[in-house]
Amino acid sequence: MHDTADRAPASGYMGSGNRLVAAANGVDFAYRDCGTGERPLILLQHFRGNLDNWDPSLVDALAVGRQVVTFDNAGVGGSTGTTPSTVRQMALDAIAFLDAMDLRRVDLLGFSLGSFVAQEIALVRPDAVRRMVLAASAPQGAAGMHGWASDVIDAVGAPEPDPDGYLRVFYASSPESRTAGQASLGRMFARTSDRDQATTWRTRTAQYDAVCAWGIPDHALLERLGGIQAPVFVANGDSDPMILPRYSYLLAGLIPHARMAIYPDAAHGFLFQHHARFAADVAAFLDDASWT
Amino acid sequence: MHDTADRAPASGYMGSGNRLVAAANGVDFAYRDCGTGERPLILLQHFRGNLDNWDPSLVDALAVGRQVVTFDNAGVGGSTGTTPSTVRQMALDAIAFLDAMDLRRVDLLGFSLGSFVAQEIALVRPDAVRRMVLAASAPQGAAGMHGWASDVIDAVGAPEPDPDGYLRVFYASSPESRTAGQASLGRMFARTSDRDQATTWRTRTAQYDAVCAWGIPDHALLERLGGIQAPVFVANGDSDPMILPRYSYLLAGLIPHARMAIYPDAAHGFLFQHHARFAADVAAFLDDASWT
C-alpha cells in the first residue's frame, strides 16, 4: 500500500482539475477538461449529478482522440448561480457556458435530465450542435413518464443521497449489473482531493420540477423532434426503470436522422456499466464520415 | 425426376386447399388453413399479394402447434367483392371474414399494408385481438412515408408484376439476401395446382390509394396508437426501403405494450428471409405467459 502522497499524479479524468469560467449570464461555471481533438464533446449531467458523478472510465474512453468537457450547469455543484426549474432555462444556461468557453459548434452527450437539456439546445440553437448523443432520454410530452414511478423518485430523490437507491435505479437486478455498479461507484469515489461540491436540496427540487414539467403528457409536443436536424444517437439500457426504453424508440422514430442502441442487462447507468462498448459506439457515431 | 403426378400430396401450407366462406357483407372470402391449436393466428397480406405470396416455409414454421389462417380480403385474388380504397374499410371487411369463420378472438400477423389493417382492427374491434404482430409496419400519419419513395412504387407498382422489382424492395442488396429472396420466390411458385387467382389492377390502384391516404402526414393521428391495449410485437428488416425501420421505432414507442426486433441484412421481405428466426420470435411472443 502506498500513501496517497506517494502516488504519481492521476491522469485522464481522475487527474483533471476543477476549473472555473465566467459567463455573460453572471454564472461562474465549474468544469473539467480532458483529451484533445478538433471536435469537442460536451457532457450534460443527470439529475442531482455533479462533475464527480461521471464515471472516469467512461470519460477517459470517450476522450481518446477527442476533447471532452464536463461542467456543472448554473446552480449545480461548484457552479455559482441558481438552478432553474425549467429545461429551457437550463439549455440557455448551458449555451452561456458554451459561449464563455468560445465553443461555437460542438458534439453533445446528454444523460437523462442532461439529455433533455441537449434536445433543447439543439432546438434553441441548432447551429451549435454538430451531432448529439441522447442517453437514457425521452421526448418532452411523451405519455406515461410524468414525475417518474414513485419507487424511482423515492430511491434517488431523498434528501440525503442513498447509494443503494442509486444502484437500484442505475443498474439492473442481475449480480453482473450490480457488481458493475459497485465498480463504477468505486471509480467515482477514488478521487480523494479536489472533488466537486455536492449538489444541494435546492438543486434537487428545481431539477425535479423541470423533470415533472418535461413529463406533462402533451402529444403535440412530440412533433418538436422533427426540428432536430443534427444526426442523433439514442441509447439506453434494456431495463431502465427511470426512463423506459420505449422513449428511446420514440426519439429514434421522431428525430429525422437517428440511430439507436439498447444495451443488455442494464438500467439507467448503462453507459457506465457498458462504458467501453458505449464509448466505442459513440466514437463510431461521431466519426462516421458517411453521415452528413 | 418424378412426374408431379407421382409425388405424395404436399403437406403444410403447400398442401392446404383453397376454401371459400360466405360472409354477412356479401363477400365470399378465399382462405387457406393449416396447423391446429387453441389460439388461431390470422395473417393479413401485403400490397398486391394473394394466398400464394405467403412463403410456405414461414407459414409452416408459424403453424407448429398453432392454427394459421391466410385469406384474401374483399376484392383480392380469389375473394369476391371490391377492393376498397381505405384501410378502415379493409379492416371492416377483415372483421366480416373473422365473423364468418366464427373467430371471435384471434392473434393477428399483419404484413405491410396488412399491418395497417391489423392496427385498424385492433382499434375498431379491440376485443377481437388477443395479440398482434406488425411486420414492416408504420403508424397512420407518420411524416415522411407518403406514397412511398418513387423507386419503390416504380419497382412494385407496375401494371405487370416484376420479379426483379419485387426482389429489390423485399430483399437487401447483399448476395445473401438476394439468394434468400430467390429461394423464397421459388417456394411460392412451387405450388403448381390450385393456385390463387392473381390480384387485379383494380386491386392495385385501390390498395395504393389506401397506402397513400395512410401516409398523409398528420402528427395528431400518431396518438391513436395509445388506444391499442393488446401486446404487440413490431418487426422489420434493417434495410427496408418501402417502410423504413424508423416507423417500427415509432410504433414501439407509441403502442403501450410493445416489443421490437430489427432483422439484419434484410428489407421488406425480412420475414421470408429470416423465416425460422422470425417464426421463433413470433411464437415466443404469442406464447409468453408473462405478458398479460
CA angle A254, A260, A261 (to 5 degrees): 150
- Chain B residues touching A254 at Cβ < 8 A: 250, 253
**Type and span of the H or E element at A69:** strand A68-71
Please indicate whether, in this complex, the C-beta atoms of B223 and A223 are within 8 angstroms of each other: no
Please indicate whether, in this complex, the C-beta atoms of B249 and A247 are within 8 angstroms of each other: no
Q: CB neighbours of A6 closer than 8 A, spacing ≥ 6?
A: none
B292 has a pLDDT exceeding 80: no
Residue A254: half-sphere exposure toward Cβ, Cα within 13 Å: 28
CA dihedral over A134, B254, A212, A256, signed as positive or negative: positive
Q: Cell numbers 397513400 label which residue?
A: B212
Picking from B251, B254, B257 by the largest number of A CB atoms within 10 A of its own CB, the best residue to mutate is B254
Burial, A213: exposed, middle or buried (Cβ in 10 Å; 0-12, 13-18, 19+)? middle
CA dihedral over A173, A178, A180, A185, signed as positive or negative: positive
**Type and span of the H or E element at B42:** strand B41-44
Kindly report, residue by residue over A192-225, the tens digit of the pLDDT: 999 999 999 999 999 999 999 999 999 999 999 9
Q: CB neighbours of B105 closer than 8 A, spacing ≥ 6?
A: B127, B128, B129, B130
CA angle B53, B56, B60 (to 5 degrees): 140
Q: Closest approach of chain B CAs to the CA of A53, in angstroms? A: 29
Query: What pLDDT was estimated at residue A10?
Result: 74
Separation CA B284–CA B131 (nearest Å): 12
> pLDDT 10s per residue in chain A (292 long)?
444 445 566 789 999 999 999 999 999 999 999 999 999 999 999 999 999 999 999 999 999 999 999 999 999 999 999 999 999 999 999 999 999 999 999 999 999 999 999 999 999 999 999 999 999 999 999 999 999 999 999 999 999 988 999 999 999 999 999 999 999 999 999 999 999 999 999 999 999 999 999 999 999 999 999 999 999 999 999 999 999 999 999 999 999 999 999 999 999 999 999 999 999 999 999 999 987 5
User: Within 10 A of B147 (CB to CB), how many other CB atoms are there?
Assistant: 15
- Chain B residues touching A220 at Cβ < 8 A: 219-220
- Tally of helices (H runs) and strands (E runs) in chain B: 11, 8
Average of per-residue pLDDT across B77-97: 98
Confidence (pTM): 0.93
Q: Closest approach of chain A CAs to the CA of B232, in angstroms? A: 13
Are the C-beta atoms of residues B128 and B229 closer than 8 Å to each other?
no
Nearest Cβ partner for B246 among A144, A222, A252: A252
A-side interface with B, Cβ within 8 Å?
A: 142-144, 219-220, 222-223, 226, 246-254, 256, 258, 260
Nearest Cβ partner for B249 among A143, A219, A249: A249
Kindly report, residue by residue over B179-231, the tens digit of the pLDDT: 999 999 999 999 999 999 999 999 999 999 999 999 999 999 999 999 999 99
Q: Cell numbers 500500500 label which residue?
A: A1
Are the C-beta atoms of residues B8 and B74 closer than 8 Å to each other?
no
Separation CA B233–CA B258 (nearest Å): 6
Separation CA B132–CA A208 (nearest Å): 37
